C-alpha cells in the first residue's frame, strides 16, 4: 500500500504570506518526522494552484485572505480533495469579524460591544473609550488600531479601509488576554498573553520578545469556564477539527470572546502548538491528528 500523500498548502496572497510560509514549512517538517507519509510543499500563489498527482489530503497552513476565508476550502471541495480544518462556509463566517460577532450575540456568547462603522461617526458616540478599530476581514491584527479619541478614530478608519471596506469598532475590555485551542472538539490548556505593546498587535505576535505566552495561572474553576466558553464559540460558528479562540477575562470574572481563528499559526512557537505541548501533544502528533481528522471525512481513506 502506498504511503499517504499529504500536500501542505502555504504562502498565499495575503499580507500574512511570510507567516504562512513559516507555518507550512514547520507543518511539513513535523509530518515528515511523524513518518509514514509522503509530504509535498505547495506554495499557493492564486486560485489556479496545482496539487501534485496522487494527493490524498491537503493540510491548509495559509493565513489571512484566500487562506482562512473559505476560498481555498471551496476550491478543494470542488476538486474533491479532503482538507484540514473548517469547511468553506464556517471559515468565511469565522474570518468575518462582523458576521462572527453577530453569531455570538445570537447565541448568547458574551463578546465586547461593537458597531459597524460607516461614513457617519455618530454610531460610536455612546460607546466607551478606548475603542478598537478593525477591518472586518483580516488576520494577525493587520490594520487594527486602538484609539482614545475622535481624531484617532478618523485616522484608524482610514488605515482599516486600506484592508477592507467594512470596519468594526469594538469596545476595549480591560483584563487578562487568554487564548484557548480547541482540538477535535475538546479545549486545550489556556494560554495567557502578556505584552507591553498596548495590545497583541502584529509586531507583538511575530517579533521575538514582543509578548510572553505561557499557560495561564488560573483557578481550576476559571479554567473550566474559559475552556467551556471557547468550545461554545467554536461550535457556534460550526468550526471543525481545530481552532484558537481569543478571550478576555475581566477582573470581575466576566469573560468575552474576541474571535475564533480557524487556521492558527503552526510554528513551534505559535500559540496552538504551545497549548498542545502543554497537554502532552507534540507538534508531530498534532499535525498527524489534523490529517487523520481530514481523512475521516473520506471513508475509503480513513483506515490508512
- Which are the catalytic amino acids? 16, 140, 206, 244, 246, 259, 261, 265
Please state, as a whole number, how many other Cβ atoms lie within 10 Å of the Cβ of residue 274: 21
Residue 36 C-alpha cell reads as 509514514
d(CA 175, CA 234) in angstroms, rounded, equals 22
Task: Label residue 208 exposed, middle or buried (CB < 10 Å: 0-12, 13-18, 19+).
Answer: exposed
Question: What residues have CB less than 8 Å from 81, skipping those under 6 apart?
Answer: 51, 55, 57, 58
Pairing mode, if any, of strands 4-11 and 57-60?
parallel
Residue 103 near residue 76, CB atoms below 8 Å: no
Amino acid at each position: 500500500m502506498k504511503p499517504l500523500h499529504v500536500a501542505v498548502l502555504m504562502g498565499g496572497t495575503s499580507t500574512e504570506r511570510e507567516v504562512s510560509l513559516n507555518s507550512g514549512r514547520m507543518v511539513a517538517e513535523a509530518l515528515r518526522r511523524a513518518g509514514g507519509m509522503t509530504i509535498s510543499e505547495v506554495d499557493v500563489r492564486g486560485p489556479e494552484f496545482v496539487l501534485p498527482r496522487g494527493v490524498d489530503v491537503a493540510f491548509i497552513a495559509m493565513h489571512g485572505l484566500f487562506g482562512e476565508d473559505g476560498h481555498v476550502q471551496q476550491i478543494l471541495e470542488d476538486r474533491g480533495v479532503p482538507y484540514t480544518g473548517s469547511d468553506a462556509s464556517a471559515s468565511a463566517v469565522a474570518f468575518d469579524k462582523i458576521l462572527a460577532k453577530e453569531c455570538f450575540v445570537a447565541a448568547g456568547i458574551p463578546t465586547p460591544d461593537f458597531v459597524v462603522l460607516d461614513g457617519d461617526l455618530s454610531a460610536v458616540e455612546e460607546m466607551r473609550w478606548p475603542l478598537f478599530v478593525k477591518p472586518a476581514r483580516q488576520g494577525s491584527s493587520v490594520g487594527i488600531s486602538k484609539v482614545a479619541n475622535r481624531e484617532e478614530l478618523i485616522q484608524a478608519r482610514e488605515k482599516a479601509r486600506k484592508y477592507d471596506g467594512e470596519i468594526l469598532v469594538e469596545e476595549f475590555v480591560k483584563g487578562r488576554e487568554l487564548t484557548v485551542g480547541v482540538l477535535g472538539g475538546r479545549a486545550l490548556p489556556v494560554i495567557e498573553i502578556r505584552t507591553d505593546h498596548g495590545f497583541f498587535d502584529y509586531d507583538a505576535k511575530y517579533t521575538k520578545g514582543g509578548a510572553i505566552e505561557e499557560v495561564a495561572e488560573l483557578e481550576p474553576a476559571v479554567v473550566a469556564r474559559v475552556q467551556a466558553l471557547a468550545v461554545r464559540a467554536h461550535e457556534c460558528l460550526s468550526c471543525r477539527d481545530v481552532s484558537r479562540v481569543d478571550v478576555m477575562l475581566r477582573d470581575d470574572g466576566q469573560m468575552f470572546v474576541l474571535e475564533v481563528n480557524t487556521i492558527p499559526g503552526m510554528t513551534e512557537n505559535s500559540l496552538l502548538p504551545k497549548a498542545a505541548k502543554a497537554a502532552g501533544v507534540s507538534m508531530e502528533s498534532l499535525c498527524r491528528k489534523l490529517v487523520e481528522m481530514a481523512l475521516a471525512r473520506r471513508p475509503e481513506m480513513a483506515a490508512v
